Amino acid sequence: MMDQSVTEAVAKLRELEEKRAALYHAMGVVNYDALTAAPKDTAEGRGRTMGVLSGMEYELTTGAETVAVLDVLMAHIAELDEQTAREVQLMKKANEQISRIPAEEYTAYSVLVNDAQSVWQRAKNENDFAAFEPYLEKIVAYNRTFAGYYNPDMKPYDALLNEYEEGMTMEVLDGFFENLRAVIVPLLRRVMAAPAIDDSFLHRSYPIEKQRVLSDMLMEVLGIDRSHCSIGETEHPFTDGFNNKDVRITTHYHEHELASSMYSVIHEGGHAIYELGCEDRFNYTAAAGGVSMGIHESQSRFFENIIGRSRAFIGFLFPKIREMFPEQLADVDAEMFYRAVNKAEPSLIRTESDELTYALHIMVRYEIEKRLIDGSLAVHDLPAAWNALYREYLGIDVPDDRSGCLQDSHWSGGAIGYFPSYALGSAYGAQMLHCMEAELPGLWEQVAAGNLAPVKEWLREHIHRYASLYAPGELFERACGKFDAAHFAAYLTDKYTALYGLKD
Amino acid sequence: MMDQSVTEAVAKLRELEEKRAALYHAMGVVNYDALTAAPKDTAEGRGRTMGVLSGMEYELTTGAETVAVLDVLMAHIAELDEQTAREVQLMKKANEQISRIPAEEYTAYSVLVNDAQSVWQRAKNENDFAAFEPYLEKIVAYNRTFAGYYNPDMKPYDALLNEYEEGMTMEVLDGFFENLRAVIVPLLRRVMAAPAIDDSFLHRSYPIEKQRVLSDMLMEVLGIDRSHCSIGETEHPFTDGFNNKDVRITTHYHEHELASSMYSVIHEGGHAIYELGCEDRFNYTAAAGGVSMGIHESQSRFFENIIGRSRAFIGFLFPKIREMFPEQLADVDAEMFYRAVNKAEPSLIRTESDELTYALHIMVRYEIEKRLIDGSLAVHDLPAAWNALYREYLGIDVPDDRSGCLQDSHWSGGAIGYFPSYALGSAYGAQMLHCMEAELPGLWEQVAAGNLAPVKEWLREHIHRYASLYAPGELFERACGKFDAAHFAAYLTDKYTALYGLKD
């Protein structure tokens, strides 16, 4: 039996976690509102509110009461059940990281990021990098400083990576990306030499009202309960999970890009399925929600690419899509559609890029972030560096910053070190598929029949239900054994060799 | 010069006010999101968060630090400038009221109200009063208890009225409503005996997409800056002002009710103009925003009825509306439109009712609230009492609770004592018009030309800019002299006598 003081400390901890969860929920809704519903010029008041709320969160996480409770519980950690012990460790980690950031800096940064998001949206619309530049400079400077607070023994960018994917380092990523580039670049070269795939029909006029109906249909096929998950519309699609019963995804419709919103919905739907699949017991605790960006992206990209761009799934989905757009798709069949949504070619926009070149887009951002944080690249020189890397990695010229370094929302939101998670997620997902195929022999027949239940059940059983109970590395190994990026390389090679009929 | 301790206390007070404002802002956005964007079954997590945030607000408003600061400042109130003194008094009032409510009750009530709103929405949709009944019972019981906390020397319902309109009592309202009824009932009888006005063309098919464009046009005519004020869509239209640069109004479209959303937008627009017109110096303080519900409703109903349903304004607006709906309004002219939107007749739904019968709808709610709070009416018997009063006051039968006692959102939101403000607001507005006409001789020519600037400027100068600096009674008297409901009675008599061509 635990002694009285430990029992009391656990109750106190839960109370603190619930207060913290409430502040996160409120800040999450204020942010969601800012991106979806708020009038344009409302950043000032929101910034003040976010500053106050994050100051309260700071006080909660660093306060004397929290420290005292954590001291008691860390001393008795072996006596705690698995979940409580993990909550204690996560709170301890948050406490240590945040305690190192002075309260004023923490609050000022929240205000800065709130402002920067509005500025970025306008800067992107107006193709005006100069307007965003001073904000990004400050965000980079804060992140460099925070990296030292998070972990003074690590290289700054490693400390930032660690925030999004525990244990990840430049050493690992340099190797991972190098190997991947060694497979993708020659494969892409062969693809480009093969006869081009015609995807022109994806760019016919698809009225946005009808695309919204397509989104509804996709949500149904994905088996996402709309009473717990809405679809909003924003510049840049994203997913927010406030708890396992309140998840929001967003998408962005373009009249002449049928695949754009379609795959945004499936991608964000993958994130939502993860959040909705967490067990109730983790709600309002420090172990709530998906465990890392890498694991989260493995889920979104699994649904988007591995399922959503598979021949089996398209075989099921295409007739339904053609029913919605009979004129636009009159001369198209499922195989043409399958080929079109998998067409690989160098392009400008990450979120619209294909499965094969996607990792190259990530590599550009990874290189830029490394240089921004180690100081070898000034923010002012970012557009030039960006454009040079697109030429080097993808072989294309960037016409303007709107389709260049202003395209993503991440940096304006303060997320530096996040991008590599996308590529890691793809690689995790390919290995999950490998395990799933071994365990579920009829898998693709089910997908071809539009039944995603076995896939969702496998992911729920091995990944979703645990929320943040295990560190990402441990969670992945429990599900799939040791991580090996070779699965992803093999997956891409097989898929694109067959798709483009490449020989030897 | 103020002594050091007073200066410090003022700085502390401002800090407390800003924290409180942030919590209100966050709770406001969470509530706005709940009503506009949140998936249906998300009340649980939101309820927990609202409980925590209102608990924090309770701690802020009642904490030892706040009490100490208020003690210092109340002792030096004569030395403070007008605004600071008012902030101190408002904080003191909040502290005293809230201190009397035990923290657990306060928190439990916030959670209850959050749940009750979802339950009410469903109960209304499904015409299921029984589902809402246990929630309303608890809300009534809490309000009865809170009334004793607010002011143990007042009758409970007076104490609740006082929350929405400082100084208002049943004695005053009984007289006010009695006099009004003595004018309205015979006037309505004469109206009903006159030839009916044809408003059938308002119920033709007006596609919702086009009604949305009409809303945009109305916002422009009202001179409301959309970069600081959005239009959302909700079951029941409302306005939320988070600060003087972030205001949200909502409306509700019905394909066959052209006037419904049109006048909701103008009504909520009036609320928005008030919030947007408050001076910056009041933002984030205890004196922020409109001062009372009565004054707020005077503004919304001024724009909706006195301006929006005037012959002058319709003369300007109608050609624009006909341009949007050329087929539906082909056989209609401005005079017909003016008469149709002013048609008076007994009806079921308060928000759709005309300017003449509106106060009768309020009287029903006023009677019900008095009886619920004094215990002479049980919640279970509310539908029967409601239906009996509609028969008595308006002479009509209520077919179901959806169009009866479930129609309004107020009670589910915990607002008991609010309804009389609507009728007071109309009466305030009629007297404001009286003053405005005396000061602005060309007023109606400007309105007829679509120029609302003189009206808005008069209201800004006399009402809006002061936010909550003056108590509602004082604010009104500064603008218009002593309140006299006879102005409203005369306004209605003149308008409806002319409209229906009533003689002698």
SS (H, E, C) B232-289: EECCCCCEEEEECCEEEEEECCCCCCHHHHHHHHHHHHHHHHHHHCCCHHHCCCCCCC
Mean pLDDT score, A415-428 = 94
| pLDDT at residue number B106 | 84
A209: Cβ contacts below 8 Å, ≥ 6 apart: none
Which residues of chain B are within 8 Å of residue A247 when distances are taken between CB atoms? 39
Local confidence band at A252 (pLDDT 50, 70, 90 cut-offs): very high
Of B33, B39, B226, which is closest to A29 when you measure between CB atoms? Answer: B33
pLDDT at B1 over 90: no
Q: How far is A184 from chain B (nearest CA, A)?
A: 41
pLDDT at A364 over 70: yes
- Catalytic residue from among A87, A268, A355, A369: A268
Mean pLDDT score, B240-268 = 97
Region of B391 (left: φ > 0; alpha: ψ -120 to 50; beta: rest) is: alpha
pLDDT at B270 over 60: yes
Contact B41 A284 (CB under 8 A): no
Phi/psi of residue B247, nearest 5 degrees: -125, 145
Task: Give the residue on A whose Cα is nearest the Cα of B32.
Answer: A33
CA A198, chain centre distance (Å): 30
pLDDT at B239 over 70: yes
Characterize A195-225 residue by residue with b for buried, 16 or more Cβ atoms within 10 angstroms of its Cβ, and e for exposed.
Answer: eebebebbbeebeeeebeebbebbbebbebe
| pLDDT at residue number A1 | 54
| pLDDT at residue number B97 | 82
Task: Choose among A19, A285, A50: nearest CA to B53.
Answer: A19
B235: Cβ contacts below 8 Å, ≥ 6 apart: B35, B121, B124, B252, B409
| pLDDT at residue number B167 | 83
Amino acid at the residue A147: A
Characterize B219-238 residue by residue with b for buried, 16 or more Cβ atoms within 10 angstroms of its Cβ, and e for exposed.
Answer: bebbebeeebbbbbebebbb
pLDDT at B459 over 60: yes
**How far is the C-alpha of B313 from the C-alpha of B281, rounded, in Å?**
33
**How far is the C-alpha of A444 from the C-alpha of A29, rounded, in Å?**
38
Angle between the N-to-C axes of helices A420-439 and A358-374, in degrees from 0 to 180, rounded to the nearest 10:
140
Mean pLDDT score, A432-444 = 97
Q: How far is A483 from chain B (nearest CA, A)?
A: 36
**How far is the C-alpha of B252 from the C-alpha of B352, rounded, in Å?**
11
User: Could you give the ipTM of this predicted complex?
Assistant: 0.87
Of B26, B45, B243, which is closest to A242 when you measure between CB atoms? Answer: B45
**How far is the C-alpha of A443 from the C-alpha of B282, rounded, in Å?**
62
Task: Choose among B361, B321, B353, B359: nearest CA to B337.
Answer: B321
Question: What is the number of other CB atoms lying within 10 angstroms of the CB of residue B198?
Answer: 12
Local confidence band at B329 (pLDDT 50, 70, 90 cut-offs): very high
Element (H, E) at A180: helix A170-193
Task: Give the residue on B whose Cα is nearest the Cα of A22.
Answer: B49
Local confidence band at A2 (pLDDT 50, 70, 90 cut-offs): low
Which stretches of chain A sit within 8 Å of chain B by CB?
Answer: 18-19, 21-23, 25-27, 29-30, 32-33, 36-42, 44-46, 48-49, 51-53, 56, 226-230, 232, 242-243, 245-248, 283-284
Region of B54 (left: φ > 0; alpha: ψ -120 to 50; beta: rest) is: alpha
**Is the separation of the CB atoms in B455 and B442 below 8 Å?**
no
| pLDDT at residue number B2 | 66
Which residues of chain B are within 8 Å of residue A49 when distances are taken between CB atoms? 21-22, 25-26
**How far is the C-alpha of B471 from the C-alpha of A388, rounded, in Å?**
64
| pLDDT at residue number B493 | 96
**Which residues are A249's β-sheet partners?**
A231, A239
Task: Return the higher-pLDDT residue of B386 and B111.
Answer: B386
Local confidence band at B12 (pLDDT 50, 70, 90 cut-offs): very high
**Is the separation of the CB atoms in A241 and A273 below 8 Å?**
no
Contact A41 B242 (CB under 8 A): no
Which residues of chain A are within 8 Å of residue B26 when distances are taken between CB atoms? 26-27, 29-30, 49, 53
The model's pTM is: 0.88
**What letter would DSSP give residue A242?**
E
Of B30, B39, B246, which is closest to A26 when you measure between CB atoms? Answer: B30
Q: Which two tokens stand for residue A219?
A: 């949500």
Amino acid at the residue B219: M
Task: Choose among B157, B128, B122: nearest CA to B143.
Answer: B157
Task: Give the residue on A whose Cα is nearest the Cα of B28.
Answer: A30
Q: Which two tokens stand for residue A154?
A: 């690590």
Mean pLDDT score, A189-201 = 95
Element (H, E) at A27: helix A4-36
Task: Choose among A11, A4, A46: nearest CA to A285.
Answer: A11
pLDDT tens by residue, B121-156: 999 999 999 999 999 999 999 999 999 999 899 999
Sheet holding B246-251: strands in order across? B229-233, B246-251, B239-243
Region of A234 (left: φ > 0; alpha: ψ -120 to 50; beta: rest) is: beta
**How far is the C-alpha of B129 from the C-alpha of B123, rounded, in Å?**
6
Characterize B66-100 residue by residue with b for buried, 16 or more Cβ atoms within 10 angstroms of its Cβ, and e for exposed.
Answer: beebbebbeebeeebeebbbbbbbbbbebbebbee
Mean pLDDT of all residues in chain A? 95
**What letter would DSSP give residue B23?**
H
Q: Please, is A189 exposed, middle or buried when counting C-beta atoms within 10 Å of its C-beta (0-12, 13-18, 19+)?
A: exposed
- Annotated catalytic, B8? no
**How far is the C-alpha of A319 from the C-alpha of A213, rounded, in Å?**
15
pLDDT at A172 over 70: yes
Contact A52 B227 (CB under 8 A): no
Mutation to test the A interface, candidates B17, B19, B25, most A Cβ within 10 Å: B25
| pLDDT at residue number A367 | 96
Contact B26 A26 (CB under 8 A): yes
Contact B227 A40 (CB under 8 A): yes
Local confidence band at B372 (pLDDT 50, 70, 90 cut-offs): very high
Which residues of chain A are within 8 Å of residue B229 when distances are taken between CB atoms? 39
| pLDDT at residue number B140 | 98
